[in-house]
Chain A
Amino acid sequence: MARSPVAARKAPARQTRLLIATRKGLWSLASDVSRNGWKLSGPQFLGHIVHHAITDPRAPRLQLAAARTGHLGPTVFRSSDAGRTWKEAQRPPAFAHGSGRVVDHTFWLTPGHADEPGVFYAGTSPQGLFRSADAGATWEGIDGFNAHPQRKAWCGGDQEGTPDGAKLHSILVDPRDSKHLYIGMSGGGVFESVDGGADWRPLNRGVRADFMPEPSPEYGHDPHCVRFAGGNPDRLYQQNHCGIYRLDRPGDTWQEIGTSMPKSVGSVGFPLVVHPQDPDSLWVVPMDGTTVWPRTAPGGRPAVYRSRDGGKSWKRQDQGLPRSQAWWTVKRQAMTSDSRDPTGIYFGTTSGEVWGSRDEGRSFRCLARHLPQIYALECAAA
């Protein structure tokens, strides 16, 4: 299914606003026009575990936040006034009664296709896929995935996941075709649907799974974050438990592109972001994936790595970042880029800091600190 590259994004916003989802609530950071001055606002939902908060590019005043608390079950909140007031979903994502499955938390939110206003997708822990057609008010399970006869083989049992729970994430909607979807699962792998989620097939050829008995299985992989390349949805990038990969459709074999990363740093990480227009530009944040998997900045010296050639080569970007004794991690949703020129790169840390660059990663500075552990960072309409 060959598809041509899509046009660049619409005119960029004059300011940048970041939604900061944390383990203890939701904050936002708003910039001035130069992205030099930043103002922190919040908290909202203080004490709630907010796994993801997004804005709707089709209706920028609409925002969704996936939340639960330590004791209460999961839900989704909606705002139609750019985050000033919120209403709870009337029917949050929940598995079918009688399925025996229970949503622990909604982990990932994705706006639907531009031609389907009000449509959103949600990925949950344990792995489940849900859709809302009314701007997040009510959610229905996508049976083509949740009730697929192979789902348990793909994902394992609900109790077999990682310590923080197995997750369905990286829900990608092809901007040229609302029926063409990708998902990532930790664990399970990357899967593709060409019929709006009615059926799915694994898409993991070429990706290592060296923690499995069979190192090149059809499924069972651990993608951490999957993104469309900027301006070209025929290219996918993937930060995986076992390296960094690129896939150029209609091909179905991923190419490992993390092998040129420095051996002392490695190619393990959680997040991956792309340049909004340049399909060859992407950024990752490596972490320590040795021995017991500390998942910290390697050597306590955090850095972003950027490739401008589709992953053939990488350049370390650490200007302004701590030089030593910084042991934080950047989670998979906690890194984003804006649509300004030059592109801004932002990430939030497990130690509650937000770092930003307004020059495509050449230099960073701390925009906020002392927040709770940051789970997700997304650009919103300013």
Chain B
Amino acid sequence: MTAQSSPEVATIVRVRIPSPLRSYTGAAEVGVAVPLLAPELPPTIGGVLATIDGAYPGLRFRIVDEQGQIRPHIRLFVGNAATRDLGTPIASGEVLMIVAALSGG
């Protein structure tokens, strides 16, 4: 399934969803069509999460707090590179992986 926003001027990225968030998506991976504002401005992780929240309301707030910071036990990877910056660019065809870390009983 694909979360769409202006698909004719959008970049398609894939997002891997951890099990704690699949109650929103119903799937382990979703495609996201992120609006492309200009050719020289690639979409960012923040744009991906905003788009995905439009399709699955509430998902973004569970992993990004009200000050725009990624929550403490959430990790994001673009490809193999970890990032905590929502401004990180992401290119068409790349994969954003959301990891939810938990320890203890």
Which residues of A are interface residues toward B (Cβ below 8 A)? 69-73, 75, 88-90, 92, 94-103
Q: Which of A90, A94, A95, A96 contacts B57 (CB 8 A)?
A: A90
The contact sample of 15 A-B pairs, CB cut-off 8 A, is A70-B102, A70-B104, A71-B73, A72-B71, A72-B100, A73-B65, A73-B71, A75-B58, A90-B57, A92-B61, A94-B66, A95-B67, A98-B67, A99-B67, A100-B67
| Contacts beyond the supplied A72-B20, A97-B67: 4 A-B pairs with Cβ under 8 Å | A71-B102, A73-B65, A100-B67, A103-B65
Contact B101 A71 (CB under 8 A): yes
Residue of A nearest to B75 (CB): A71
Q: Is the interface of B mostly helix, strand, loop or mixed?
A: loop
Contact B65 A72 (CB under 8 A): no
Known: A88-B58, A90-B57, A90-B58. A73 touches B63 (CB 8 A): yes
Residue of A nearest to B66 (CB): A94
Contact A73 B62 (CB under 8 A): yes
Contact A72 B63 (CB under 8 A): yes
Distance, CA A98 to CA B64, complexed state (A): 14
Residues of the B chain whose Cβ atoms lie less than 8 Å from the Cβ of A101: 66-67
* Residues in B38-87 with C-beta less than 8 Å from chain A: 57-58, 61-69, 71, 73-74
Number of B interface residues, CB 8 Å? 20
Q: Is the interface of A mostly helix, strand, loop or mixed?
A: loop
Distance, CA A336 to CA B15, complexed state (A): 45
Residues of the B chain whose Cβ atoms lie less than 8 Å from the Cβ of A103: 65-66
Known: A97-B67, A102-B67. A75 touches B73 (CB 8 A): no
Residue of A nearest to B103 (CB): A70
Q: Which of B20, B58, B67, B68 contacts A71 (CB 8 A)?
A: B20
Q: Answer whether residue B95 sits at the interface, using C-beta atoms and an 8 A cutoff.
A: no
The 3 closest A-B pairs by CB, nearest first: A94-B66, A71-B73, A72-B62
Distance, CA A99 to CA B62, complexed state (A): 19
Q: Answer whether residue B21 sits at the interface, using C-beta atoms and an 8 A cutoff.
A: yes
Contact B62 A102 (CB under 8 A): no
Residue of B nearest to A69 (CB): B20
Most B-side CB within 10 Å, residue of A70, A71, A102: A71
